[in-house]
């Protein structure tokens, strides 16, 4: 039987950072308030495009795999801050691979990366493809109003990537996702405008969404939380993760928390946090990982996978 498996995780964070002290000086947001309310200490700000960051993340993932770029057969580019509305970024990222491949852009909020992993899994299981790259890349600094005190401190730029390949053993074990119309206006960017967010409404949805997604994917996998080595959640707000931990009785140490150094990188968030966990040796080969996210739409998604 044919399955899919993550064979490499890569990422890229721009070298320029803006710390809370700088944000306090420039935007008048109290630096201590930022950390206490979000867990964020700094955010990366890109001078390059989202496309260029995506290429760097993909190259990093390839360097960590046993694959050459010639073996990649399909690419997904997941983003909420694409460089252009038309065309998407997949074609420009394809150029770095050096040969013709299939590819498409996906915009599905911050949970889009996890949803795309489920799609890639199906493509590989079907036998149509053997090696699929998923790139989440965000230049959110371009769509954030830095004078909006409710949102300016929350977001950062960056890109993450995974390569999924065919496997004889299950890698992606179970998935769950759901979208809803209710509450869509609480997290929105109108055309030619800045990103807007009703923080309280999003917080309430986020906690319930993450709890739902964890419970449902565990049910689909016939696993218990004790069977999971690490939960890699969307890195939006440390208080959300803490609330989920408390509500569900899951030790906070079971969650990967990278938000202090990354801020919220939307569709790149889960891949970058997964890379941090691998690089720090918090998890290794054969680890069982639960990824979970919520995002604009409103949507939520989760996966259970074995590395």
Is it the case that residue 150 has pLDDT exceeding 80?
A: no
Q: Comparing 14-28, 32-46, 87-101, 165-179, which segment has the lowest mean pLDDT?
A: 14-28
3-state secondary structure (DSSP) of residue 249 = coil
> Does 160 lie in the same domain as 202?
no
What are the residues whose beta carbons fall under 8 Å from the beta carbon of 229, sequence distance 6 or more? 283, 287, 288, 289
Name the band, by pLDDT with cuts 50, 70 and 90, for residue 270.
very high
> Does 192 lie in the same domain as 119?
no
> Does 153 lie in the same domain as 9?
yes
> Does 143 lie in the same domain as 196?
no
How many Cβ atoms are within 10 Å of 103's Cβ, its own excluded? 22
> Does 69 lie in the same domain as 40?
yes
What is the number of domains present in the chain? 2
Q: Comparing 112-126, 145-159, 249-263, which segment has the lowest mean pLDDT?
A: 145-159
- The pLDDT mean for the chain works out to 94
When pLDDT is averaged across residues 174-199 and rounded to a whole number, the result is 87
When pLDDT is averaged across residues 156-165 and rounded to a whole number, the result is 98
pTM of the model: 0.95
* Res 183: pLDDT: 83
When pLDDT is averaged across residues 235-251 and rounded to a whole number, the result is 97
When pLDDT is averaged across residues 261-268 and rounded to a whole number, the result is 97
Give the structural domain span for 96: 3-167
What are the residues whose beta carbons fall under 8 Å from the beta carbon of 290, sequence distance 6 or more? 214, 217, 218, 228, 230, 231, 232, 302, 303, 304
> Does 190 lie in the same domain as 87?
no
Q: Mark which of 167, 199, 229 sits at the end of a domain.
A: 167
Contact of 275 with 56, CB cutoff 8 Å: no
- The H helix count followed by the E strand count for the chain is 9, 13
Please report, rounded to a whole number, the percentage of residues in the chain having pLDDT higher than 90. Answer: 82
Name the band, by pLDDT with cuts 50, 70 and 90, for residue 198.
confident
* Res 42: pLDDT: 96
Name the band, by pLDDT with cuts 50, 70 and 90, for residue 126.
very high
pLDDT digits (tens, 9 = 90+) for 22-65: 888 877 788 888 999 999 999 999 999 999 999 999 999 999 99
Q: How far apart are CA 170 and CA 92, in angstroms?
A: 32
> Does 157 lie in the same domain as 26?
yes
How many Cβ atoms are within 10 Å of 108's Cβ, its own excluded? 22
* Residues annotated catalytic, as ranges: 110, 234, 264
3-state secondary structure (DSSP) of residue 105 = strand
Is it the case that residue 294 has pLDDT exceeding 90?
A: yes
Q: How far apart are CA 231 and CA 255, in angstroms?
A: 5
> Does 179 lie in the same domain as 75?
no
Q: Mark which of 167, 185, 203 sits at the end of a domain.
A: 167
pLDDT digits (tens, 9 = 90+) for 250-259: 999 999 999 9
What are the residues whose beta carbons fall under 8 Å from the beta carbon of 76, sequence distance 6 or more? 90, 103, 104, 105, 106, 116, 119, 120, 132, 133, 134, 135
When pLDDT is averaged across residues 138-156 and rounded to a whole number, the result is 90
Q: Indicate the pairing of strand 187-189 with strand 172-179.
A: unpaired
> Does 179 lie in the same domain as 279?
yes
Is it the case that residue 149 has pLDDT exceeding 80?
A: no
Name the band, by pLDDT with cuts 50, 70 and 90, for residue 293.
very high
Q: What is the CATH number of the domain that holds 129?
A: 3.40.47.10
Q: Mark which of 167, 193, 209 sits at the end of a domain.
A: 167
> Does 299 lie in the same domain as 227?
yes
> Does 211 lie in the same domain as 112?
no
> Does 86 lie in the same domain as 40?
yes
* Res 146: pLDDT: 86
* Degrees to nearest 5, angle at CA 182 with 181 and 183: 115
């Amino acid at each position: 039987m044919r399955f899919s498996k993550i064979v490499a995780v890569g990422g890229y964070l721009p070298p320029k950072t803006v710390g809370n002290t700088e944000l306090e000086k420039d935007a008048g947001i109290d630096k201590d308030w930022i950390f206490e309310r979000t867990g964020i200490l700094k955010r990366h700000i890109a001078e390059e495009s989202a496309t260029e960051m995506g290429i760097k993340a993909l190259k990093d993932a390839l360097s960590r795999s046993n694959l050459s770029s010639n073996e990649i057969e399909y690419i997904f580019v997941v983003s909420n801050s694409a460089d252009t509305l038309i065309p998407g970024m997949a074609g420009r990222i394809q150029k770095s691979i050096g040969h013709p491949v299939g590819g498409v852009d996906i915009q599905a909020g911050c949970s889009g990366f996890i949803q795309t992993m489920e799609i890639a899994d199906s493509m590989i299981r079907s036998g149509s493809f053997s090696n699929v790259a998923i790139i989440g890349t965000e230049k959110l600094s371009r769509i954030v109003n830095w004078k909006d005190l409710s949102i300016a401190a929350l977001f950062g730029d960056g890109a993450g990537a995974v390569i999924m390949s065919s496997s004889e053993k299950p890698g992606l074990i179970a998935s769950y996702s759901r979208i809803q119309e209710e509450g869509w206006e609480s997290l929105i960017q109108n055309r030619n405008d800045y990103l807007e967010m009703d923080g309280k409404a999003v917080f309430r949805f986020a906690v319930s969404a993450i709890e739902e997604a964890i419970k449902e994917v565990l049910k689909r996998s016939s696993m218990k939380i004790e069977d999971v080595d690490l939960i890699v959640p969307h890195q939006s707000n440390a208080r959300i993760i803490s609330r989920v931990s408390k509500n569900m009785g899951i030790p906070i140490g079971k969650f990967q928390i990278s938000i202090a150094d990354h801020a919220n990188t939307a569709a790149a968030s889960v891949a970058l946090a997964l890379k941090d966990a691998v690089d720090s040796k918090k998890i290794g080969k054969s680890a069982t990982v639960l990824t979970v996210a919520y995002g604009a739409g409103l949507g939520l998604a989760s996966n259970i996978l074995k590395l």
